[in-house]
Structure 1
């Protein structure tokens, strides 16, 4: 098999040990350690797609070389984390997306932001989409999506683009704009993974008039809680490390099935995010909400997400909910515990900016 690389990648391989190997007539596959170093250099230089091409060529040319195969698969698994397995096993999530995509996709040109495995893009084609542009900034994920889409016979209907959606051009990349945007960029705090920036950019730059967003809105949900905090760091090997406690991130994760064991009041929306083509969600904002206590000790806020595709298609990983929900529930502690009476109201602030969520409380 002939390995074809772009000019910048070939120039990189012509340096150092790679140059010596090629001058001696050896293949870059002859030394797996050197091969791995070359691939990592390509990734660091912004040519990750070329590293992927090298790894796939290695697997095709020398399928029986166990060491080379292990190196190649290491390259091809970069960014393809095991959380994909957990996410894809989240049946309530899959069903919600499928029902919404089935309802809104027919005849539309669609952008799938952060395509990953290409699942949502393929759902859209199955539901009658005219064409889907599926983007992912990670080269190994984009390549994986292309392979999965090809294996399912949908390559003619789905174009995979190895870019962040923020770098897309509506004409050069999307054929003039899209009628619908599908996204699954939610982190446990809702606003991570450039969600707000990506959807605001899509609304302003990439969509046609009257475009549909799936989901159309989401909420950062919260409730008062009492959750065991991590013990403070004090003396270690005779040294006082207590100043670490002032800098340490204090939020912890709580599993969905056990969440209601710590809940000390009803859940309400701390912040609503609405995704509309003529009204992009702000990438930073602040809101105050009053939470009601069931009584007893309260030492923080449990936070989860509610995703709304339509009035009758909703996903929520609420405390005590479906154990298949893969997003965990965040617990954000207060500066100090509060002793509350039943019905007592606690003012809570919620601020998001640049993908970070901050929650604080005042009695």
Structure 2
């Protein structure tokens, strides 16, 4: 295999989560199984988010005629080209060092590809640009284009989680009031490692939102009626997602997954009572609001 050149600043600027993601066997198995089940022989594929190039190379190995893959980080794009070349798949894979939006504007991507693939998900689904990517997908997809994943489902439950709340706020320290710094607290969501949190579930798990790249209304505000099954101080909602790559599942509910769960904080903790009904609202950024009914 050819030697891969290493950019001098690669270690500094490429997030370490790339390695855990690429070594996630459940993710990789589901992606390969989905590609294998699609009968990609002779098909034209557009991928958004190249990374190291694994999905693009799997499409090529399963017979795709041409794969166009976009990677906005030029260093990652260049390294992906080297990896693809080292695996002798460069003849049918074009790595485009641009965002999908710019690649569409510049005419680098085909219209009406047979398949569009993207795996640009974070713990709360939307943080890696879901809205913009969905718009790009709708712009080039035809009625017969297969989009992978075809749907993402998000689930959540109300919880008391002092540790998560404290990770996102500050008050008195050394006799000094620092609460003014809470202006910069995360309002939408942030990742949490549930194994390290002593949280208490205060409600059943609900199906919070569906994400569909082809549905222009997928990010409309959602509202749910939730019944508390325990009393306690609610700090927010913990969520996880199931992404369906065809009939194959990639999920953040598995503790072995490289994706952690997401914590959506309330602006202020809210005391809730067992058996009472609450209205839970969510916007397109993952920001939630909870009020008693």
Structure 1-normalised TM-score?
0.70
1:166 aligns with 2:101: yes
**1:159-217: CA deviations, max 9, x gaps?**
1111100112389423454111100111111111212211222222x234410100011
1:149–1:332: structure 2 CA closer, same or farther, 3 Å change rule? same
Contact 1:181 1:212 in 2 (8 A): yes
Q: Give the equivalent residue in structure 2 for 1:119.
A: 54
Structure 1: 5+ residue runs without aligned partners?
1-55, 60-71
- Of 196, 212, 216, which aligns to 1:274? 212
- Structure 1 residues 176 and 243 mapped into 2: Cα distance closer, same or farther (>3 Å)? closer
Match of 2:259 among 312, 321, 327: 327
Q: How far off its partner does 1:269 sit?
A: 1.9
Alignment-derived partner of residue 358 in structure 1: 287
Alpha carbons of structure 1 residues 175 and 189: separation in structure 2 relative to 1, 3 Å: closer
Aligned-residue offset at 1:90: 1.8
Q: Distance in 1 between matches of 2:279 and 2:111?
A: 47
Matches within 5 A, 1:181-220: 181-204=116-139, 206-220=140-154
Alignment CA distance shift 1:86-1:292 (3 Å) = farther
Decide whether the 8 Å contact of 1:227 with 1:331 is kept in 2.
Answer: no
Counterparts of residues 15-34 of structure 1 (less than 5 Å): none
User: 1:155–1:256: structure 2 CA closer, same or farther, 3 Å change rule?
Assistant: farther
Q: Retained in 1: the 8 A contact 2:71–2:98? A: yes
Q: Secondary structure at the residue paired with 2:8?
A: helix
Structure with more of its chain in helix, by fraction = 1
For residue 203 of structure 2, the aligned residue among 261, 265, 272 is 265
Q: 1:235 to 1:89 in 2, by over 3 A?
A: same
Q: Give the gaps of 5 or more residues in structure 2.
A: none
Contact between 1:170 and 1:176, CA under 8 Å: does it hold in 2?
no
Q: Residues of 2 paired with 1:111 and 1:146: CA distance? A: 16
State the SS of the aligned residue for 1:220: strand
Give TM-score, length-normalised by structure 2: 0.85
Alignment of structure 1 residues 69-218 onto 2, 5 Å = 73-77=7-11, 79-104=13-38, 105-169=40-104, 172-204=107-139, 206-218=140-152
**Which residue among 281, 297, 305 is the counterpart of 2:241?**
305
Query: SS at the partner of 1:124?
Result: helix
Secondary structure of the structure 2 residue equivalent to 1:168: helix
- Tell me if 1:234 matches 2:171: yes
Name the CA distance, whole Å, in 2 between partners of 1:239 and 1:258: 29
Residue equivalent to 1:40: none
Most deviating of 138-147 and 103-112? 103-112
8 Å Cα contact 1:273/1:281 also seen in 2: no
Q: 1:248 to 1:179 in 2, by over 3 A?
A: same
- How many equivalent residue pairs? 282
Aligned-residue offset at 1:275: 2.4
| Structure-2 change in CA distance of 1:256 and 1:317 (3 Å) | farther
* CA distance in 1: counterparts of 2:86 and 2:203, whole angstroms: 49
Helix, strand or coil: the match of 2:263?
strand
| Post-superposition offset of 1:358 | 0.8
